Structure formats: structure tokens, C-alpha cells
């Protein structure tokens, strides 16, 4: 099956390319992509080699929303015409036969996948806007971490890093009745954090984060969600916790080892959580239902909506760290 896909080569150059997808089987559905959501963290960790799921060339993207155009004879749970959300695509090759690492390949005009399972497609809950629902993984990652740590009503929570996962944490904690402090170095992210439920915002570039947190929680926060994925941010985030508090490794810190200072966490007798992935179908469905109800106003997190022809330039800006204006982005395929 022929399609168009956003491809990254070994020189980290991006281009919209003709690709050929593997033929669908009897258990597969063929989806016409409507929107694919961009993960500024994980996708560009793959592009830059911080993480590796396969050799170049790459087709990144692991979330989207589309319409079922074909369904194999053994498919159950979806039919032609249904709107679905999905986490991955089938194998693909360039027009010249070069294999592409689909990681997970959803920045593509067509998607072939299966229904159900841990990472298959599922019917999109009614009422959730397609563009918002296509960027479901990051708030689901945040919800999963919050569910693991279970901060309680009235607990003071610091979300250290207000990227898309951190913004998901902000909203999930706010809905639990926590007092939420969002920390970031970009004001546009902090503005979105307020709209998603943060009670206080702190700019780590211009303010003393520790002093601002102590104004709200003199003994430290009940829980800190380190959501940047930057190893150098771990120690200052731990130091915001109160004694016997909770620390959540909410970011992805890559495959490389990095030094961890034991005593700050040890002296506070912290409980730590290590969420991984997005909480699977229950978390995905929950966040999209929250988008539909308005409990998660995720449209506030989408700063950029681009057509496929403009996606290469956007990805290049992000990859070169020239995109501080980007909070969240989606590609509008059809």
C-alpha cells in the first residue's frame, strides 16, 4: 500500500517521502490518518540517538486518530467508517526499497494496525476533538504516574517540567484536588499549566524555585513529579520533597547511566515511583474521555497544527532547539 510519511535520515534531516506499507492481513485494519500527535520528548530522543528503537531512516510518531477504511475478515471491535485512535503502524519501505524503522511510524498518511491488545487501535470516545485526541499518549503517561503515586486531596504537588507529560500530570493532580505547583523555564508552558489546573507557577530561570515552593509548603512538597527527563534536574527536584514524601521519575532519562546522589533522597526517606509507558488502554481511554467532557482542556496544549508539507520545517526547528514557541503540535493529514 502506498502512502506518504515524514522520514528522518541519518543526518537528522526530515522530508515527506513516498513509502510502501506492508500488505494488511486478515486481523488488520487500514486507517486513513486524520491527525498524528508529536511527542517533543521521546521522538526527538530517537532522532538524536538518546534512545534507539532501530536504524535510520526513521518514521517516528506513536499516536494518532483516523478513520477505518478497510477491515480484515477476522477483525473484531472496529468496522469501516469508525474513528479510532492508535499507537503504531506496520512496517514500511521507501519507494526505492530501503527499509524504514517505524518508531512507531504514525506520522504517515495511512496506518495499518490491529484492534485491541496492549498497543492496538481502539474506538475513539465520542465528543473528543480529533486533533486533541491524536495527542493522547502524553497525558496518559502523566495520568499513569499520578495513579501510581496517588497524591491525596489537599496534598502539595510540584510538577517539575511543564512539557506535555508534565502538563498531563498537572491536570491529573488538579482533578484529584491537589494543590499544584508547576515549574518550568518557559512562560508559555506555565500559562498552559495554569489553564490545566496549576494553582501556582514558577519560572525556574527567573525565580528561586525552592523559595517559591516553601511559601506554599514550608516543609517541602508532599510529592514531586520530575517530568523533564533531564538527569541534571533530578537532584534539585528531590530537594523540593518533604521528609517521607514521594518522588516520581516521570520523565524518560535515556539508556545512558548518570550519577545519582543518594543522600538527599535517603535523608528524606522518600518513596519513589518509576512509571513506564502510558498506562495502556485504561489510561488512554480515560484521558480521551476527559477531553470529551472538558475535564482535560487539551486544546490549550496544542500550539501548532501543521499540514504534512510543513511538518519537515517544524521538526527541523524542534530538533535544532529553535522552537521554544512550541508547546504541543499535531500533523493534519486529511
Reported as a single tens digit per residue, the pLDDT across 246-304 is 999 999 888 889 999 999 999 999 999 999 999 999 999 999 999 999 999 999 999 99
One domain for residues 192 and 89:
no
**pLDDT value for 282:** 96
CB neighbour list of residue 49: distance below 8 Å, 6 or more residues apart:
none
Rounded to 10 degrees, the C-alpha dihedral 120/123/125/127 comes to 120
For residue 116, being part of any structural domain is answered with yes
- Angle, helices 280-293/137-149, rounded to nearest 10 degrees: 110
Give the residue from 328, 333, 334 showing the smallest Cα distance to 136: 328
SS3 (DSSP) at 47: helix
Domain of 41 in residue numbering reads as 2-135+302-332
Which of 273, 288, 315 marks a domain boundary?
273
Q: What's the CATH code of the domain at 261?
A: 3.40.50.720
**Of all residues in the chain, what percent are helix, strand and coil, respectively (each to 5)?**
30, 30, 40
Q: Are strands 99-103 and 58-60 parallel, antiparallel or unpaired?
A: parallel
Confidence of residue 27 (pLDDT cuts 50, 70, 90): very high
Question: What kind and span of H or E run contains 166?
Answer: helix 164-175
Average pLDDT over residues 87-91: 96
One domain for residues 166 and 256:
yes
Copy the grid coordinates of residue 333.
493529514
% of the chain exceeding 70 in pLDDT: 100
One domain for residues 96 and 194:
no
**pLDDT value for 93:** 97
CA distance 120 to 129: 20
CA distance 194 to 180: 9
One domain for residues 51 and 124:
yes
One domain for residues 33 and 96:
yes
One domain for residues 142 and 131:
no
Confidence of residue 52 (pLDDT cuts 50, 70, 90): confident
Which of 234, 257, 273 marks a domain boundary?
273
CA distance 186 to 165: 15
For residue 183, being part of any structural domain is answered with yes
Confidence of residue 49 (pLDDT cuts 50, 70, 90): confident
One domain for residues 251 and 316:
no
List pLDDT tens digits, range 145-197. Answer: 999 999 999 999 999 999 999 999 999 999 999 999 999 999 999 999 999 99
For residue 282, being part of any structural domain is answered with no
End-to-end CA distance of the chain: 17
For residue 288, being part of any structural domain is answered with no
One domain for residues 168 and 118:
no
For residue 223, being part of any structural domain is answered with yes
One domain for residues 170 and 212:
yes
For residue 281, being part of any structural domain is answered with no
CA distance 149 to 187: 27
For residue 296, being part of any structural domain is answered with no
For residue 210, being part of any structural domain is answered with yes
Say whether pLDDT at 50 is over 90. Answer: no
Domains identified in the chain, total number: 2
Which of 236, 253, 273 marks a domain boundary?
273
One domain for residues 24 and 122:
yes
List pLDDT tens digits, range 195-236. Answer: 999 999 999 999 999 999 999 999 999 999 999 999 999 999
Q: What is the mean pLDDT of the chain?
A: 97
Amino acid at each position: 500500500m502506498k502512502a506518504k510519511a515524514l522520514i528522518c535520515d541519518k543526518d537528522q534531516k526530515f522530508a515527506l517521502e513516498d513509502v510502501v506499507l506492508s500488505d494488511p492481513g486478515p486481523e488488520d485494519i487500514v486507517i486513513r490518518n486524520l491527525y498524528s500527535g508529536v511527542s517533543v520528548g521521546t521522538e526527538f530522543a530517537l532522532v538524536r540517538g538518546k534512545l534507539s528503537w532501530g536504524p535510520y531512516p526513521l518514521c517516528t510518531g506513536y499516536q494518532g486518530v483516523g478513520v477505518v477504511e478497510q477491515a480484515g475478515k477476522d477483525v473484531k471491535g472496529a468496522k469501516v467508517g469508525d474513528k479510532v485512535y492508535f499507537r503504531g503502524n506496520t512496517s514500511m519501505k521507501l519507494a526505492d526499497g530501503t527499509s524504514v524503522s517505524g518508531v512507531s511510524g504514525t506520522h504517515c498518511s495511512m496506518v495499518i494496525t490491529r484492534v485491541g491488545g496492549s498497543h492496538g487501535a481502539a474506538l475513539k470516545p465520542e465528543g473528543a476533538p480529533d486533533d486533541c485526541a491524536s495527542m493522547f499518549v502524553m497525558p496518559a503517561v502523566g495520568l499513569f504516574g499520578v495513579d501510581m503515586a496517588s497524591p491525596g486531596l489537599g496534598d502539595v504537588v510540584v510538577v517539575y517540567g511543564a512539557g506535555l507529560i508534565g502538563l498531563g500530570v498537572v491536570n491529573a493532580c488538579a482533578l484529584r484536588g491537589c494543590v499544584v505547583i508547576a515549574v518550568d523555564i518557559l512562560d508559555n508552558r506555565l500559562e498552559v499549566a495554569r489553564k490545566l489546573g496549576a494553582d501556582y507557577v514558577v519560572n525556574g530561570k527567573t525565580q528561586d524555585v525552592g523559595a517559591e515552593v516553601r511559601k506554599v509548603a514550608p516543609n517541602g512538597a508532599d510529592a514531586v513529579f520530575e517530568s523533564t527527563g533531564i538527569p541534571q534536574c533530578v537532584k534539585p527536584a528531590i530537594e523540593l520533597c518533604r521528609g517521607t514524601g514521594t518522588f516520581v521519575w516521570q520523565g524518560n532519562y535515556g539508556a545512558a547511566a548518570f550519577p545519582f546522589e543518594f543522600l538527599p533522597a535517603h535523608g528524606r526517606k522518600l518513596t519513589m515511583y518509576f512509571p513506564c509507558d502510558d498506562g495502556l488502554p485504561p489510561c488512554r481511554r480515560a484521558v480521551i474521555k476527559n477531553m470529551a467532557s472538558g475535564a482535560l482542556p487539551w486544546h490549550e496544549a496544542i500550539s501548532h497544527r501543521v499540514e504534512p508539507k510543513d511538518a519537515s520545517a517544524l521538526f527541523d526547528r524542534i530538533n535544532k532547539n529553535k522552537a521554544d514557541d512550541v508547546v504541543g503540535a499535531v500533523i493534519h493529514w486529511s
